[in-house]
Structure 1
Amino acid sequence: MATRIRIVGTSGSGKSVLADRVSARTGLPRLELDAVFWDADWRMRDLDEARARVREFVRQHPDGWVADGNWTSRLGDMLDPGSPDGADTVVWLDLPRRRVMRQVVGRTLRRVVRREELWHGNRERARNLLRWHPERNIIRFAWTNHPVTRERMLGRIAAGERIVRLRDRSEIDAWLASLPPAGRSVGP
């Protein structure tokens, strides 16, 4: 049985790290949605092109995949359970705000100091740390988006969606350990 895992959560919650760990454990190929939707010079990739890339990735990996990132405003329901290309497992990293903020601040400062390339030549900019608007400052974005993400995801759970909600490191580690390692059958 194919397994399609989608990992969502606030910026800085650890989606990419968990997706790497899931991919390493299960052998599932990984799709990093930030790399799909961002283009060079921090421009948004053409929506039709980005969606085509997602569809092509799904088509190329019929035996399963892991995708990390939210991007609901650009994906619509493309990767939602029930859609033809959708995930059969949605994992929500619902870490406490203080933990997310520690992680996003540390990660952002490291990226700025080391000039780490993210996708397509893009790098975090030190001047953005001084900007007030959340769309320009990833730390402010994580702060303001945390309660919005929580409300949206709790609404989805209340509506009956099956979502794996992970609230701390021990829950993350236990869920990861529950996944069959590469070479064994993977199921939801």
Structure 2
Amino acid sequence: MEVWDLFDENRQPLGKQAGRKDPMVKGEFHIVVVACVVNDQNEILLTLRSPDKEKYPGTWENTGGALEAGEESRAAAVRELFEETGIRVRENELHLLDSQMEEYAFIDFYIVRKTVPVEEIRLQKGETADARWVSLSEFVRMGEEGKIAPPIYQRFCRLREKMEVFLKEDRRKERYPACRGKNRQESKKIVILGCSGSGKSTLAGQLGKIMDLPVVYLDALSWDAGWKRKPFDEFDRLTQSEIRKPEWIMDGNFPRTVEHRMDVCDTVIYLDFKRWFCILSVLRRVITNYGKPRPSMNPGCPEKFDPGFLKRIWNFDRRSKAHYYGYMKKLSGTKLIVLKTRKEVNRFVKQVEKEGRFVRGNFPAGPK
């Protein structure tokens, strides 16, 4: 019988398992993956559910299924795609389009570029009865006519805008090599810390493009238009929603949530720059972008001169630096990277371009 690991609403393991036929309990979730295959004509692969299936027999769907106990999300997507279609892909070919929380499951939706003739698709007995490639407009028409399994079409409608953006892009190239060696740990959840003006947001944007990871700017979650700070409970809720996703880069300090982010991440990057450098960077940013919001902020939050902000930068080392290093020294099994100059940052970015998500740490790890 298929067995699943169970998680709480923050996607943290509960140390419990359930079988496919076991009733789900409110507040407990398992993880489901969807592998949407797109060919070089921007057509989407659909498979026909077997008429013997208990739910939605004879309807079309994307490939997908639940994670087995002890399985990782990307590995499950690779497995499900091969089992149901015979299509082989590597984990680093999958692009995470989004992760959503439904009533009893987290849904990780991946897209992969692969062109395979229909006659070469190997159908899984008892699961899939047919396969076809359809255009985006045809997918929508089939969904409206009820030919696509309702949960699949509802999910697609929520992701349609992101899907359209993806389909307009050129074929995605492999952005990082396959893992070489057992000790090479892939980075999927990265926290970037450091004094304001050290370049956290810029580095987060660069890494997001190179490593094909979504970037979360905590400043954008914290401030509404007019520089009005969101209530703490709303900010915490928004942050938790991002943290529970399987892949991300998070830019921002925010001490109230930093320990939790560091507990769940696999990589911490700390920009330990001199305070005079950070102040000059902020002044340069204000002069260049005065009256306009920077890319990592919400519209309605224009760049401005704030003497109190400069004072906080000047006092950052005295008030915060030791705390962040203290957190880092407590971590075990987390890659720690400390960068102290712009040259080190540039060298690190070039290293990431070569090694991708398998980039190495340079700071001593905590106790084992």
Give the TM-score taking structure 1 as reference length. Answer: 0.77
Match of 1:116 in 2: 292
Q: Distance in 2 between matches of 1:185 and 1:111?
A: 31
Q: Distance in 2 between matches of 1:78 and 1:18?
A: 22
Q: Distance in 1 between matches of 2:329 and 2:189?
A: 22
Q: Which amino acid aligns with 1:70?
A: N
Q: Report the 3-state secondary structure (helix = DSSP H, G, I; strand = E; otherwise coil) of the residue aligned with 1:170.
A: helix
Q: Report the 3-state secondary structure (helix = DSSP H, G, I; strand = E; otherwise coil) of the residue aligned with 2:261.
A: coil
Q: Distance in 1 between matches of 2:226 and 2:209?
A: 30
How well do the aligned residues superpose, as a CA RMSD in angstroms?
2.4
Q: 1:99 aligns with which of 277, 289, 302?
A: 277
Structure 2 residues not aligned, in runs of 5+: 1-185, 360-368
Greater relative contact order (CA < 8 Å, ≥ 6 in sequence): 1
Q: Which amino acid aligns with 1:116?
A: K
The structure whose residues are more often strand, as a share, is 2
Deviates more, 1:161-170 or 1:34-43: 161-170
Match of 1:29 in 2: 214
Aligned-pair CA distance for 1:124 = 3.2
Aligned-pair CA distance for 1:125 = 3.4
Cα deviation, 1:76-104, whole Å, max 9, x if unaligned, reads 533112xxxx2111110001222112111
Q: Distance in 1 between matches of 2:229 and 2:348?
A: 33
State whether structure 2 residue 326 is matched by structure 1 residue 155. Answer: yes
**1:1-188 equivalences in 2 (<5 Å):** 3-59=188-244, 61-62=245-246, 64-73=247-256, 75=257, 77-81=259-263, 86-112=264-290, 115-117=291-293, 118-126=297-305, 128-129=306-307, 137-159=308-330, 163-179=336-352, 186-187=357-358
Q: Distance in 2 between matches of 1:7 and 1:185?
A: 16
The structure whose residues are more often helix, as a share, is 1
Q: Is the 8 A contact 2:200 2:251 kept in 1?
A: yes
Aligned-pair CA distance for 1:40 = 2.3
Cα deviation, 1:19-71, whole Å, max 9, x if unaligned, reads 01111111111000000111222222122222222222234x42x21110000
Q: Which amino acid aligns with 2:324?
A: M
Aligned-pair CA distance for 1:157 = 4.3
